[in-house]
Amino acid sequence: MKKKYWLLIGIVVVVAVLIIINLRARKGGGVEVEVEQIERRDLSMIISASGSIRPKRKIDVSASVIGKITEIAVEEGDTVRKGQFLMQIDPAELESSVMRLEASVESARAARKQALYQLKQRENELNRARKLYRQGFRTDEEVETAETAYEVAVANYEASQQNIAQQQAMLKSARHDLNEVTINAGMDGVVTRLNVEEGETAIMGTINNPGTVLMTIADLSRIETEVEVDETEVVYIDIGDPAEVTLDAYPDTTYLGEVTEIGNSPIYGSSSISGQRGVDFKVVITLTDTIPGVRPGLSADSDIIVARRDSALSIPIQSLTVRQREDLKNSDAASDTTAESSDVEGVFVVEGSKAVFRVVRIGISGSRYFEVLSGVDEGQKVVSGDYKAIRELRDGQRVEIK
């Protein structure tokens, strides 16, 4: 019985010793982390946006007169030259108007000729009446009658001249309308859209109602894409920034371009869950490369390169973290009483078997790395993973490198 008692005590002591040893071993171990060596890399800060491509220059051919389309000389996809005949609107009614107005002009000229003869006759009668009046053969009343007749003749002659000018203006307008029924290309390009068929009626536009767009001609030698960029990113974009554009139709080819326009007016999106509306700005990228077989409207993804750094000291993006100033032990930020914020940005650098928090100043951001301006040195090992470890790591904590 006594022997069993001591045996039980011995087992308890052994178990306790093992537990103490295990706890000490755990206490002495460190958190497993992944590290990456701080190196110099070529970095590019890129802003990505999506949109569609369009020709830099295009014209919509509209009707300026009303009439039936009697002839179309081109098809969609045809290449045309400036001045080339495109289509004809029935000219019959306008030709009749021109002929009527030409006759009206001739009639007005004849009326002016007759008014001129009457004016000369009344002038001669007035001169004769004044001469006879001086000789005593005419009364004051007869002279006044002659003067009135002369003034009426002058007014009639002037009215005939105005009538000719009016008829000539109407004739000029009719001839212009007659020329408008013959539609020619206003620029070199490609017919990208043909909206009408022969036999349809073309309607000209008014102030409130747009007219019929007969066709669209586009210059496909210069292509641009319009994208919408968030307000937090558009401030980094400048005119002339290089860009790379990829089309969904040609996913394996990248086309080069540059920023040629940045909108000044915001584009408001729909309201979010928080009630705030998203604000974007228009950015236009003009492609410097030629796209064979291009079609306006193709979807495009654009990467705008807003900054470059050659051989920049860099850290992985996931290494950057934020800590409260009062939680830091070994960092200079802990004793900085002039700082306004209690949060500091930095990374954990592995020194020996400990992770030491180092405050860093960040420059541009690439796709995987931040440019670091100060706080760490080349060759140091910075904790890069995993995310849970970085989030929970404390300044001065023991670590083990995976």
Please report which confidence band the pLDDT of residue 11 belongs to, taking 50, 70 and 90 as the band edges: low
The whole-angstrom separation of Cα 257 and Cα 49 is 14
Q: Same domain, yes or no, for 294 and 375?
A: no
- More confidently predicted of 218 and 332: 218
More confident residue, 202 or 212: 202
pLDDT score recorded for residue 183: 92
The residue out of 260, 294, 309 marking a domain boundary is 309
Q: CA–CA separation, 212 vs 177, rounded Å?
A: 16
Residue 164 lies in a domain: yes
Least-confidence region, from 10-19, 91-100, 114-123, 356-365: 10-19
Most confident range (mean pLDDT) of 301-305, 327-331, 395-399 is 301-305
Q: Which of 274, 309, 344 is the last residue of a domain?
A: 309
Contact by Cβ (8 Å): 200, 69: yes
The per-residue pLDDT for 205 is 61
Question: Are 285 and 329 in the same domain?
Answer: no
Percentage of residues of the chain with pLDDT beyond 90: 64
| Domain CATH number, residue 237 | 2.40.30.170
Q: What are the distances in angstroms from CA 194 to CA 62, 314, 339?
A: 11, 55, 66
pLDDT surpassing 60 at residue 271: no
What does each C-alpha distance from 163 to 81, 99, 158, 224, 240 come to in angstroms? 42, 17, 9, 53, 59
Q: Which range among 8-22, 113-127, 202-216, 232-246 shows the weakest confidence by mean pLDDT?
A: 8-22
Q: What's the pLDDT tens digit per position in 155-182?
A: 999 999 999 999 999 999 999 989 989 9
Say whether both 299 and 320 belong to one domain: no
On whether both 320 and 289 belong to a single domain, the answer is no
317 and 279 in a single domain? The answer is no
Residue 222: closest CA among 180, 189, 263, 174: 189
Q: What mean pLDDT do residues 329-343 have?
A: 59
**Side chain identity, residue 233:** E
- Domain count for the chain: 3
The 3-state secondary structure of the chain reads CHHHHHHHHHHHHHHHHHHHHHHHHHHHCCEEEEEEECEEEEEEEEEEEEEEEEEEEEEEEECCCCEEEEEECCCCCCEECCCCEEEEECCHHHHHHHHHHHHHHHHHHHHHHHHHHHHHHHHHHHHHHHHHHHHCCCCHHHHHHHHHHHHHHHHHHHHHHHHHHHHHHHHHHHHHHHHHCEEECCCCEEEEEECCCCCCEECCCCCCCCCCEEEEEEEEEEEEEEEEEEHHHHCCCCCCCEEEEEECCEEEEEEEEEEEEEEEEEEEEEECCCCCEEEEEEEEEEECCCCCCCCCCCEEEEEEEEEEEEEEEEEEHHHCEEEEHHHCCCCHHHHCCCCCCCEEEEEEEEECCEEEEEECEEEEECCCEEEEEECCCCCCEEEEECHHHHHHCCCCEEEEEC
Can you name the residues that pair with 59 across neighbouring β-strands? 217
Identify the pLDDT of residue 340. 60
In this structure, the answer to whether residues 338 and 319 fall within a common structural domain is: yes
Same domain, 288 and 330: no
Q: Does one domain contain both 297 and 336? A: no
Q: Which amino acid is at 64?
A: S
Percent of all residues in the chain with a pLDDT value above 70, rounded to a whole number? 86
Domain membership of residue 344 (yes or no) is yes
Q: pLDDT at residue 28 above 60?
A: no
When pLDDT is averaged across residues 233-251 and rounded to a whole number, the result is 93
Beta bridge partner(s), residue 385: 34
pTM beyond 0.75: no
The domain that holds 329 is classified in CATH as 2.40.420.20
Whether residues 294 and 324 share a domain: the answer is: no
Same domain, yes or no: 286 and 334: no
One-letter amino acid identity for 279? Answer: V
Tokens 């020619």 belong to 184
Under a CB-based contact definition with an 8 Å cutoff, are residues 276 and 250 in contact?
no
In this model, does residue 194 exceed pLDDT 60?
A: yes
Domain coverage including residue 322: 31-42+312-401
Is 25 domain-assigned? no
Tens of pLDDT, residue by residue over 352-384, are: 889 999 999 999 988 899 999 999 999 999 999
Of 213, 210, 221, which Cα lies nearest the Cα of 187? 221
- In this structure, the answer to whether residues 343 and 324 fall within a common structural domain is yes
Residue 191 lies in a domain: no
Arithmetic mean of pLDDT, 21-43: 75
Q: What angle do CA 249, 59, 248 make, to 5 degrees?
A: 10
Please report whether residue 386 resides in a domain.
yes
Mean pLDDT, range 52-78, rounded to an integer = 91
Residues 100 and 173 in one domain: yes
Q: Looking at the predicted structure, is the pLDDT value of residue 2 above 60?
A: no
25/391: higher pLDDT: 391
Is residue 200 a part of any domain in this protein? no
Which residue, of 122, 152, 178, is where some domain finishes? 178
Q: Does the residue 337 lie in any domain?
A: yes
What average pLDDT is seen over the chain? 87
Query: Does residue 324 have a pLDDT over 90?
Result: no
Look at strands 31-37 and 397-401 and give their pairing. Answer: parallel
Is 212 contained in some domain? no
